[in-house]
Structure 1
């Protein structure tokens, strides 16, 4: 297998890029790009071998300021998506809309790309397509007769092609409400009966998959009654023109029509029945089956399969026997021929295996044995034998006994004249047994079955090695899974396994995650597995991308993380992107993460995950405040301020969080920057809550006098002050020149208005008096209030008074008074502990923090 280094070298040679390998043990820090002429000839070293010499070169100020910065890989976005994103952004900003032709072309390019690659449309892409088509429909409706016929034909073709792609690629695991909305839009905008028939099939399909079977059934009944929109002459003309346009973009839809996936009522009713069975609604299943029976669709094999599954859900043994007998009879009477025969036999074998598995799970051993006897009466096809072997393993037959059963099966071939129909145990048989062992979480049994195959000259295939990886990963044997992976690679190289083999992709994704999680495997080992997957252009799962991105970030390889995310993240659903974003968020806000790595993580979130909401960005901003990096936090705030989405731009809580963080760091310059942004923000209504934060921020930055100006605004406002506002204003008085005078004015105002003065307010008031050196007035106020029974002196009051005192000498005066007057309370205060700053001023362990 080529090494990661070899692949990296060839890639860079083909791309005309310099070759850099971080793992080199003898990497020189100072290298000249051009050696000196004197040094061009090799010099002999001590052992006589030539050694290369490099000329030392000193760059300007020892910085290579002229070196080009590494360019990040362009985002891997599907064709047309960028133009649709631009349309949505312009709509959000009320800017000038792009031309209709450009939007139609973008939708057409996107749908054609999905048709070619056979890729599903994600929920975010579905929203973009719907918004783009809505814009096109609105524009076409406004232009009316002035619309060009060619544009109208392209618009209708986009509708039909989008319906075909959505129908052909959507599965139960990928469908979301966004797909439902797009399908409903296509259905409602069908302006001809032909297009309406196609979109009806699509909408039934999507509604059934997304858990809305009642709506799907009602739509089917409505369609059967002939309730469809009338077709105008002009619409028919455009539609006929679109039908006659044999463009390659319609090949996917035509293939679907040939496969019977569109406009087939039995298939549509079958999807509705499957959805009700999945929801386990017995009455609706029975009602829907009656409707199917009335239409003569109940003889379809898929209906029998669905009813077998329903009977197993309901644990109705008698009904299960009847439906299985009916299904088995239908298969026996019409087995098909040629390739269809093998296909039907495999499908029937899977159904038989499912029923036997249910019998094991529900302890219906008698039913299972009876079913096996009935099937064995006619020497069944090999897929039935494979199911019987699994049944034997489930009923505690040993591996050796199962081997003897295989011999019995092969001996029965003597009765079959046609050798092409002989039953032979093969690797499919072994794999089914290994899968059963995995379901029991028994790796030892799985290994025994693989060994049984080797005893019978059945060598493991790619599927076996994938299963081996899976069960080893399941029990945490990462090293064993890695060995199985290497064996798989060697097997594929030796047997020339088709590149379309994709069963190993999910297991390899889990292997990469496990290798990163063990923290025992070196980086090159992880990259070898990763690059093999990338070379195949195989899809990376969201968890894999998340794990690798965090690995790169932890190694200070932000560029590599960016390239990885640009390659894969735009193809994920919104849920996967959210999980990926949350993982990077968690890494960025983790206090253990270095500041440089956290900032790199934020830049990735900003550039690649533009949908990052306000709350997450605010959390990031707060984390940088906690790191004492106000510059970075303010930068994040400014990025939010410049955003165009309403769910991202700052709101009142965001401003408050910024002011409180800056208050903690006492960064007055940054406070003024954010305040200037607030002045220009017409979306924000200034409230008392916000003004409280402004007072706290300016007070912390030694701008107490300016802070008190906001108190005046609060008093003059209609909302008025809160209790927090009074505390905050008194703290501003404590920190501003001549603040004791303002504090006395405020206190007199509170008394005149009969405001309830609690213990905390008294503490804030006397601290404001002491903050300007007026100890006598503060002490006198306390003594008078105590005599009047207006307050009770406690440790918090004395601590606030001492903390507010201006300077060491003033604190000593208060301490001498408190020791003499209130010795018990002072002893309690000292018991809380204290700290001294450089100037010798003490700060006691009381909580004087203020919130807005």
Structure 2
């Protein structure tokens, strides 16, 4: 059983309000249910209206016979991060144009949130960054002059938090970083205007202006797609530098600029800035060498990568291990083993330190196919060869072992990885968390779940210390692997998830999606509720979309039972009200495909009743739903949708809508009502279309004495000398045949070439035969068609016939659209 920490108020969502969307206001992609004391963070137009749900449980009454039963699950509040609810409340008030909470509450909430993130060393997702930026901007704009309730230290802490890159779009991170730095810089500039000296400013602000703040700011710009803006800022910084000699910090900043340009793939700007740095006296340091090698090597530009790698580094400094790693991967991808062999032999002969030996051992495995014993011999050579700087010989440690395991993993050789672990044991290397995590990773790839569980048990018992939650990626991968097997161990999955929830760790969206799919397939709906409520509450829109997509895929899977699919849809509706209309239409079509027009109508109704106008059905969606009823008649559902259309003031009636209504009512055995829509079409400015004619003839076919109306319409078409498409002609034949006029239909078909300019086809005979009311008339028509059009009739007979309550009919599909 899962931890009670996972029991959530979101079970109440099944009987109250659900999440609200972010589609127009960019607020949090969720809101609190109405049963909570906290308000929804988005404007009212985004609230889904309250409605009872099929999964809601009744409150049990106590009686003598159930006093020994287990009490119902306790519903607990969602475990929000400190201060996050204040950010949500502010965004809600801002979106609605309402009065925000008290300033003290807003300031305390913002500070709590930022301090919690820094203390836990956790970054912001794109939604959190957006909310934090909006609230900070409001606090700055409404700040009382001379009174600053957020200190520079807090602003610097926020800038530090922002520097941890998100998985999704970093646009809000970039905006927040700019806002933070502008506020820090503006406060310090104001102090200087007041005449305060630098020492006083340093004491007031808790540190020196410029170097740290500006460096962090440039790093934010460089890693969030603002490298060109970082270049402009840095150029302004250089213009203020006094003296001919370049400050040492400028060299560090230049490396940041080059790294940002390389990350964005801006080759022209990268080379221009490198040349400017070189002209200004910046040495070709190992860091710059690594940037250039990585840039060209990752793009497989062979000659450029080799040129930059071979270019001498300033003062004969050794190239970085990462540069060698990039060179190894680049050379293997581009069949440059000979060049790589020469470069690595030079490295070995240079008597490098341990960090470079780790690279050498990695190269020996991935490029030279060295086995465990050969690597072991190389390690002995490493331990007996002191580096050139005169220090003690390098001793293999955890990083050495990790490099070997990564190499074996890349070669997809888990047995070799285990042999390296044995070598590490022989050498007395103490395993750390990183090694165990690598071991879990390759065992997962080998589907060795028992071995992975043994390692995970070590982490769980605290035998291997974990810092900064570095185990979460592998544990998430473990959960997804458990979910992917044919017969998943639900208890083990929930046990691991409960352990992570106890640690207040948030699962990755891919993991939540996998868990929900498995639980739904095993009818664990309430566990799905726990999982969604615990882990999606702080997801960004992109992360929520991943989970939402998995639920939609589950609903669209035709192999899943309709009952399970409907339960999943109920959860989707409550937890993801931001589900776009296109996906809702796909779900509606899926239930039509399951031959459940009633459920499809409910999905349509949920769109129509959504309080976000962007979710309301358009004319095309109305038509699509009504055409669904034409395929799968359901009179009650048809009337429900028609009533919604009557009340929808945003939808103007068109010929296509009237056509769709005619289709629906004819299919539901109400051709009389369908003819009323035909009269509306004829009285409208737009008038009928060819589809209208086909549909109205179908209505006449199903209507007693409908041939009278059909003849009137046909006569008017003849007077107007309209071109008659085949589908309209055979529909008219069906209208006459529906009233039993078999002789008239036969004369009509015989004169087709003269009347409409083409002869009959398979559908002409099929529609007419199916419409004839009696067996005698069918026999007469069959005799005529078999004698005069034997080839076409033979094609029709190959379709086969079926017995219906209306008589024998051919198996033809008559598709009509609005």
Question: What displacement does 1:205 show?
Answer: 3.4
Corresponding residue to 1:490 among 450, 458, 462: 458
Indicate the larger mover: 267-276 or 813-822: 813-822
1:409-428 equivalent positions in 2, closer than 5 A: 409-411=382-384, 421=392, 423-428=394-399
Moved more, 662-671 or 291-300: 291-300
- Alpha-carbon deviation of 1:783? 4.4
CA distance in 2, matches of 1:298, 1:156: 38
Q: Is the 8 A contact 1:304 1:327 kept in 2?
A: no
Aligned partner of 1:220 among 231, 234, 252? 234
Counterpart selection for 1:404 from 365, 372, 377: 377
- Residue 678 (structure 2) pairs with residue 689 (structure 1): no
Residue of structure 1 equivalent to 2:564: 597
2:129 corresponds to: 126
The question of 1:843 aligning with 2:814 is answered no
Query: Which of 1 and 2 has higher RCO (CA within 8 Å, sep 6+)?
Result: 2
**Would you say the 8 A contact 1:652–1:684 is kept in 2?**
yes
The equivalent residue for 1:239 is: none
1:606, 1:463 → 2: CA distance?
Answer: 41
Whether 1:278 aligns to 2:263 is yes
- Structure 2 CA distance for aligned equivalents of residues 518 and 185 of structure 1: 48
Match of 1:772 in 2: 739
| Map of 2:402 onto structure 1 | 431
**How far apart are 1:564 and its partner, in Å?**
0.6
TM-score normalised according to structure 1 size: 0.75
Whole-Å separation in 1 of the counterparts to 2:776 and 2:139 = 77
**2:772 aligned with 1:805:** yes
Match of 1:586 in 2: 553
User: Cα distance 1:746–1:105, how it changes in 2: closer, same or farther (>3 A)?
Assistant: farther
Query: What SS does the aligned partner of 2:317 have?
Result: helix
1:176 aligns with 2:190: no
Hey, what does 2:23 align to over in structure 1? Answer: none
Question: 1:291 maps to what in 2?
Answer: 276
Give 1:387's aligned residue.
Answer: 359
The reply to whether residue 631 of structure 1 matches residue 598 of structure 2 is yes
Q: Secondary structure at the match of 2:536?
A: helix
- Residue of structure 1 equivalent to 2:424: 453
Deviation at 1:213, TM superposition (A): 2.3
Distance 1:453 1:281 in 2: 43
Does the 8 A contact of 2:286 with 2:313 survive in 1? Answer: no
Q: CA deviation at 1:396?
A: 4.7
Q: 1:409 to 1:721 in 2, by over 3 A?
A: same
Range with bigger deviation, 723-732 or 117-126 = 117-126
Residue 635 of structure 2: aligned partner? 668
Could you tell me whether the CA contact under 8 Å between 2:121 and 2:468 is conserved in 1? no
After TM superposition, give the deviation of residue 764 of structure 1 in Å: 0.7
Query: Per-residue deviation at 1:850?
Result: 0.3
2:701 is equivalent to residue 716 of structure 1: no
Deviation (angstroms), 1:743: 1.4
1:167/1:205 contact within 8 Å kept: no
CA RMSD of aligned residues (A): 4.2
Distance 1:728 1:404 in 2: 85
Tell whether the 8 Å contact from 2:6 to 2:498 is kept in structure 1 after alignment: no
Between the aligned partners of 2:433 and 2:81, the Cα distance in structure 1 is 32
Alpha-carbon shift at residue 559 of structure 1 (Å): 1.1
Tell whether the 8 Å contact from 2:444 to 2:452 is kept in structure 1 after alignment. Answer: no
Q: Give distance in 2, aligned partners of 1:627 and 1:105.
A: 53
Task: Specify whether residues 416 and 656 from structure 1 end up closer, same or farther in structure 2 by C-alpha distance, changes over 3 A only.
Answer: closer
Q: Which residue of 1 aligns with 2:222?
A: 208
| Equivalent in the alignment of 2:159 | 164
2: CA distance, partners of 1:68 / 1:707: 56
Q: Is the Cα contact below 8 Å between 1:512 and 1:526 reproduced in 2?
A: yes
1:192 aligns to what SS in structure 2? helix
**Aligned 1:256-271 pairs, distance under 5 A:** 266-271=251-256
- TM superposition shift of 1:275: 2.3
Q: CA deviation at 1:350?
A: 5.1
Q: Find the aligned partners of 2:621 and 2:706 in 1 and give their Cα distance.
A: 30
Residues 434-491 of structure 1: per-residue CA shift (max 9 Å, x gap): 22222222323322222222333446544333222222333xx21x243144045337
Q: What is the CA distance between 1:273 and its match in structure 2?
A: 0.6
Q: CA deviation at 1:598?
A: 0.8
2:88–2:131 Cα contact (<8 Å) kept: yes
Corresponding residue for 1:518?
485
Q: For residues 327 and 568 of structure 1, what CA distance do their matches in structure 2 show?
A: 51
What are the within-5 Å matches in structure 2 for residues 15-26 of structure 1? none
Q: Which moved more, 1:100-109 or 1:387-396?
A: 100-109
Q: 1:543 aligns with which of 500, 510, 535?
A: 510
1:298–1:304 CA contact under 8 A, matched in 2 = no
Q: Could you say if the C-alpha distance between residues 324 and 838 of structure 1 is closer, same or farther in structure 2, counting changes exceeding 3 Å?
A: same
CA distance in 2, matches of 1:815, 1:567: 67
Q: 1:711, 1:161 → 2: CA distance?
A: 70
Map of 2:317 onto structure 1: 328
How far did residue 519 of structure 1 move? 1.7
- 3-state SS, counterpart of residue 666 of structure 1: coil
Distance 2:700 2:450 in 1: 68
**Could you tell which deviates more after superposition, 603-612 or 569-578?**
569-578
Match of residue 444 from structure 2: 473
CA distance in 1, matches of 2:512, 2:422: 36
Q: TM-score, normalised by structure 2?
A: 0.78
1:312 and 1:320 in contact (8 A); partners too: no
Task: Sort the Cα spacing of 1:213 and 1:461 in 2 relative to 1 into closer, same or farther, 3 A.
Answer: closer
> Does residue 756 in structure 1 map to residue 741 in structure 2?
no
Q: 1:491 to 1:591 in 2, by over 3 A?
A: closer
Per the alignment, residue 366 of structure 1 pairs with 342
Structure 1, unaligned runs of 5 or more: 16-56, 141-146, 227-262, 332-347
Quickly say closer, same or farther: Cα 1:222–1:701, change in 2 above 3 A.
farther
**Contact 1:569–1:577 (CA<8 Å) still a contact in 2?**
yes
Cα–Cα, structure 1 residues 318 and 169, in superposed 2: closer, same or farther, change >3 Å? closer
In structure 2, relative to structure 1, the CA distance for the partners of 1:741 and 1:91 (3 Å cut) is: farther
Contact 1:175-1:206 at 8 Å conserved across structures:
no
Shift of 1:223: 5.8
Deviations 1:540-579 (A, max 9, x none): 2222211111111011111101211211123434333222
Between the aligned partners of 2:475 and 2:676, the Cα distance in structure 1 is 64
Distance 1:835 1:715, change over 3 A: same
Give the unaligned 5+ runs of structure 2.
10-59, 191-209, 241-247
- Measured against aligned partners, the alpha-carbon deviations of 1:62-98 in whole angstroms (never above 9, x if no partner) come to 999x998756665444455556556666777x67454
1:656 Cα shift?
Answer: 1.4
Local SS of the residue matching 1:793:
coil
Q: Could you tell me which residue of structure 2 aligns to residue 736 of structure 1? A: 703
Residues 563 and 59 (structure 1), Cα distance of their counterparts in 2 relative to 1, 3 Å cut: closer
Query: Within 1, Cα distance between the matches of 2:703 and 2:152?
Result: 72
The answer on whether the counterparts of 2:513 and 2:550 sit within 8 Å (CA) in structure 1 is yes
Are the aligned partners of 1:163 and 1:202 in contact in 2 as well (CA < 8 Å)?
no
Q: Partners of 2:685 and 2:140 in 1: how far apart?
A: 48
Q: 1:384-412 CA deviation, whole Å, 9 max, x = no partner? A: 33333334444455433433343344445
Secondary structure in 2 matching 1:843? strand
Instruction: Give the C-alpha shift of residue 754 in structure 1.
Output: 2.0
| 1:2-32 CA distance string (max 9 Å, x none) | xxx6x86x9899x9xxxxxxxxxxxxxxxxx
Query: SS where residue 610 of structure 1 aligns?
Result: coil
1:610-660 residue CA offsets vs partner (Å, 9 max, x unmatched)? 221001111112222222333322222222122233442211121112212
Equivalent position of 1:727 in the other structure: 694
**Residue 440 of structure 1 aligns with which residue?**
411
Which residue of 535, 549, 566 corresponds with 1:568? 535
For 1:154 and 1:596, the matched residues in 2 are separated by 55
